[in-house]
Amino acid sequence: MSTRIRTRTDGTSYTQVRYRIGGQAGSVSFNDHAEALQFDALIAKVGPRKALEISRIVIAQERGLTVGEWLKHHNDHLTGIEAATLKKYRSYTDNDMDALAYIPLLALTPDDVSAWVNGMRGRNGDPLSGKTVQNKHGYLAGALAAAVERGHLQSNPCESVRLPRWDRQEMCFLEPDEYQILRAAVTEYWRPLLDFLVVSGCRWGEATALRPADVDRAAGTVRITKSWKKGDQGWELGVPKTRKSVRTINVDNLVLEQLDYTHEFLFTNSGRGRRNTSGVVRIHSFHPNVWAPAVVRAKAAGLSKSPRVHDLRHTCASWLIHAGRPLPAVQEQLGHESIQTTIGSYYHLNRDSGKDNAGVLGRLITGFR
């Protein structure tokens, strides 16, 4: 790939951009040297074959927005999202689009998106996780869907692109006796927090954002309206994950009676350091200083599992399901936006239907013996 300034017989000059595709040489000539340099730069970004395809589209109609330009416009006009989410989207736009950013929207194809996805999977010998690839593809797909809605695209090139599979970390469900082993391994100060997490099913950010006024001890209820979120200026209180996460749940009085209602927040650190004068419990401190050592002690005491803090929420769901509580009731307790989330996450815990299936099939197969 190179550029050369040539002179015609009439004395005028032009710039020739040379390239190779599959070992075969080719060139494109431009009267405007700046346009030649732009085309040369485009080849460097997307390769000669795609650059030629783009140049034909650009010549055929006025040059429209590039993918990168559209994504910046899309980000600037998003509403109803939190600052941390917008910051993440802008990071995707600035750092993760690679050659895709330089392609005009009208020239973008599913093959381009596929090449981008495959590039993320093998980037610099350190491929991104399947979950990360899905997140970034999901952002691009949403932005391009908005471009379709506004008439900038006829169809969404992301829709036909297959994504890599990724293995979610298995949920850990504790049996009641296993929870008691874990609870005994935690220092006494933190046991009310663990009890609350496992019987409420609250997310960590929801539980640690609760204030004493959110608890109605007479009614045995807790009102969840806030959750801690990481923003540009550090941790800040925001709304919970979904609309249905704003909810009122019932919590047994034995758990509520253990709680300390004398501070601004319901759960506070045992010692307030200089960096955290509010005493708010942060997961980045709780996990290494409280949780991880407790799990080590619990395993030494006979616990065979390695639960995460979030697994107390999963444990809450499993106890409800094993007790025969209907899935809509579990959904309401956990604050899932859709019952499909509850079904997809926990339906496998109820083996009644599976046992019935096995019984039916077992009775039928006996006729072949």
The distance from CA 341 to its chain's CA centroid, rounded to whole angstroms, is 15
* Structural fold of domain 176-353: hpI Integrase; Chain A (1.10.443)
Please tell me the pTM assigned to this model.
0.64
User: Which residues fall within 8 angstroms of residue 136, CB to CB, at 6 or more apart?
Assistant: 92, 96, 120, 128
What per-residue confidence (pLDDT) applies to 1? 62
Q: What tens-digit pLDDT sequence spans the chain (369 residues)?
A: 678 888 877 788 888 888 887 777 777 777 788 888 888 888 888 888 888 777 665 543 444 678 998 999 899 988 877 777 888 899 999 999 988 898 888 888 898 899 898 888 665 545 667 778 888 999 999 999 998 888 777 889 999 888 876 555 678 999 999 999 999 999 999 999 999 999 999 999 999 999 999 999 999 999 999 998 876 677 888 888 888 899 999 999 999 999 999 999 999 987 654 444 458 899 999 999 999 999 999 999 999 999 999 999 999 999 998 888 888 999 999 998 888 888 877 877 766 666 667 777 777 677 655
> Residue written as tokens 């099939």?
361
Strands, DSSP E only, in the chain? 2-7, 13-21, 24-30, 215-216, 221-224, 227-231, 234-238, 247-250
Q: How far is CA 253 from CA 19, 313, 332, in A?
A: 76, 19, 19
User: Which residue ranges make up each domain of the chain?
Assistant: 2-60, 67-149, 176-353
CATH number of 67-149: 1.10.150
Q: Is 287 exposed, middle or buried (0-12, 13-18, 19+ CB in 10 A)?
A: middle
